[in-house]
Amino acid sequence: NAGVTQTPKFRVLKTGQSMTLLCAQDMNHEYMYWYRQDPGMGLRLIHYSVGEGTTAKGEVPDGYNVSRLKKQNFLLGLESAAPSQTSVYFCASRGGQVQETQYFGPGTRLLVL
Amino acid sequence: AQKVTQAQTEISVVEKEDVTLDCVYETRDTTYYLFWYKQPPSGELVFLIRRNSFDEQNEISGRYSWNFQKSTSSFNFTITASQVVDSAVYFCALKTSYDKVIFGPGTSLSVIP
């Protein structure tokens, strides 16, 4: 039982390049989330999913797209990376009951030059 | 609107001192959940506690204790006899009836030996 895993752990991109971050969970969780963490701002929600095939916008969705084709995977895409997207990205998942806790992946550090 | 405030950006204490981390939240919902997470220097996010809005009992777990007061919309976290391993960033978070979790900006705690 690996919990929540994220791939890659670290990546450097040039402005305008694209990439996809992968989040995988093996807990059969319904809900999955993508956050970004920036100094002094806590975690801000980018997009989330309440089940396979569904996605919704969070607090800071611009410049990102997501897909949830399989229940265990949640992909975050950057079509044209910008320096403002330099951040640490965390994925989280939780079960279907409203009171359930989110569990986080180890994070992906992204640097956009 | 929902909001979480952690007014203390950084705190430094000497080992064995007690320290309290403040968390104030805003919500109009009557049902909500509050969380504390710890982020050690290694970067992962570790779940510490969840409290629902109907349960105002204080919680103690070893050297950790939490004081939930609805009258002041606060959910404060106290570490007794702090240790160097407690050095981390601590996040308070709020979940209401929606699917999103709102995080505070975090408090960076340094415990000096």
> CB–CB of B52 and A99 under 8 A?
yes
Indicate the burial class of A67 (C-beta count within 10 angstroms; 0-12, 13-18, 19 or more): middle
On average, the pLDDT of chain B sits at 92
Nearest CA in chain A to B50: A101
Specify the pLDDT at position B101. Answer: 86
Q: Which of A42, A98, A99 sits opposite B105 (nearest CB)?
A: A42
DSSP state of A55: E
CA distance B38 to A41: 15
Stretches where chain A sits below pLDDT 50 are none
Chain A CB contacts of B97 under 8 Å are 98
Please judge whether B9 and A40 are an interchain contact, meaning their C-beta atoms are less than 8 angstroms apart. Answer: yes
pLDDT tens for each residue of B26-63: 999 888 999 999 999 999 999 999 898 988 878 888 99
Which element (helix H / strand E) includes B68?
strand B64-69
**Residue carrying structure tokens 């752990």:** A9
